[in-house]
Amino acid sequence: DRRGTLRGRRQIMLDDSDVHHHRHAKAAVGAVAAAAIGDPAVFVSVDAMHQGPQGGGPVIAIIDAGE
């Protein structure tokens, strides 16, 4: 079922048949963060190849744009 949700939010990782170990670590970190804030709308990156300044990292804002 591709309509999988968690606490009313859509899930994007629907199949783990070809998941490398770093994705399991990403899922664990995301789960801890989601549990800590009580909301599954979290972003966790495991890719070292991001555009930005030396030592920088990605930032994401999850906002409610309303109707």
Residue with tokens 């968690």: 6
What pLDDT, on a 0 to 100 scale, did the predictor assign at position 39?
Answer: 87
Residue type for 65, please?
Answer: A
What pLDDT, on a 0 to 100 scale, did the predictor assign at position 15?
Answer: 62
What pLDDT, on a 0 to 100 scale, did the predictor assign at position 44?
Answer: 80
Of 32, 25, 37, 34, the residue nearest 6 (C-alpha): 34
Q: Residues 8-58: pLDDT tens digits?
A: 777 766 566 666 777 778 888 888 988 998 888 888 876 666 666 677 767
What does each C-alpha distance from 35 to 7, 41, 55 come to in angstroms?
A: 11, 10, 27
User: Taking the model in full, what pTM does it have?
Assistant: 0.51
- At 19, list the tokens: 């998941």
Higher pLDDT, 6 or 40: 40
**Is 46:26 a contact under the CB 8 Å cutoff?**
yes
